[in-house]
Structure 1
Amino acid sequence: MTHQTFKPANSFETHSPQATDINARRASHPAADPSAILIRMPELIAIVGLARPTIYKLMRQADSEFPLPVKLSGSKARGAPVAWVLDEVQSWVRARISARNKVAA
C-alpha cells in the first residue's frame, strides 16, 4: 500500500525540489517589502503558471512587458543565477487579469 501526501490547494506545485511555498516565505517575513523580495525560477513558474521556455520567450518580446530578471552574480556565462522581483511579477499578473477584464467588458 502506498502513502499519498496531501498538499493544500494554496501550496505551489513544481517539479523542482528546491521550490518553496511563496506564502510560507511571506509569512516568515511579514514586514518584507515585495519590491525587495527576489524569487527564483521554480517560484516564478508557480506564480505565473507558464513553462520555463515560455517565460524566456516572453522576456525576449518587447511588447509582452514581462519582468526581466536580476543577475545574482557578475558571471556572464549562460546559466548564471538570476531571480525576479516579486512585486514586478505580481504587477505583471495583475495587468494580465486587468486586460482580460477589459476585453470581457
Structure 2
Amino acid sequence: MQHQELQSPVMLRLKHVVIRTGLSRSTIYNMLDEKSSSYDPDFPRQVIMSKAAVAWVEHEIDAWINNRIQKRNA
C-alpha cells in the first residue's frame, strides 16, 4: 500500500489576504458582514485559529480571485 502524503492547507493571515486581493482590511471585513452593502457571499470565510487569531485558506482566496477574473472575462 502506498502512503499518500497529506498536505495541510496553507493558511493566510489578514495582512497576506490584503496583499493577495489588493483589498483593505476594512473592505475584507465588510465583505464578510451580511449587514454591509459590500457583503460578498462568495468571499471565503475566515477560520478561527485561536482566541486572538484568524486566517484564510489560501486555495479558497485563490479560487475567489480566479472567479473574479472569470466573471470579468465573461
TM-score of the superposed pair, with normalisation by structure 2:
0.78
Structure with the higher fraction of residues in strand conformation? 2
Say yes or no: does 1:98 pair with 2:67.
no
In structure 1, the gaps of 5 or more residues are: 1-31
The percentage of counterpart residues that share the same residue type is 37
Q: Does 1:71 align with 2:48?
A: yes
Shift, 1:63, TM fit = 4.3
**Which consecutive segments of 4 or more residues in structure 1 shift more than 3 A?**
61-64
Shift in Å, 1:59: 1.1
Aligned residue-pair number: 65
Root mean square deviation of aligned Cα: 1.9
Q: Which fold has the larger relative contact order, with Cα–Cα distance below 8 Å and residues 6 or more apart in sequence?
A: 2
Mapped to 2, the partners of 1:60 and 1:37 lie a distance apart of 24
Which whole-Å CA distance do the structure 2 matches of 1:66 and 1:38 have between them?
15
Structure exhibiting the larger radius of gyration computed from Cα positions: 1
**2:55 aligned counterpart, secondary structure:** strand
State how 1:3-42 maps to structure 2 within 5 Å. Answer: 33=7, 36-42=9-15
Q: Secondary structure at the match of 1:65?
A: coil
What is the TM-score of this pair, normalised by structure 1? 0.56
Q: List alignment gaps of at least 5 residues for structure 2.
A: 1-5
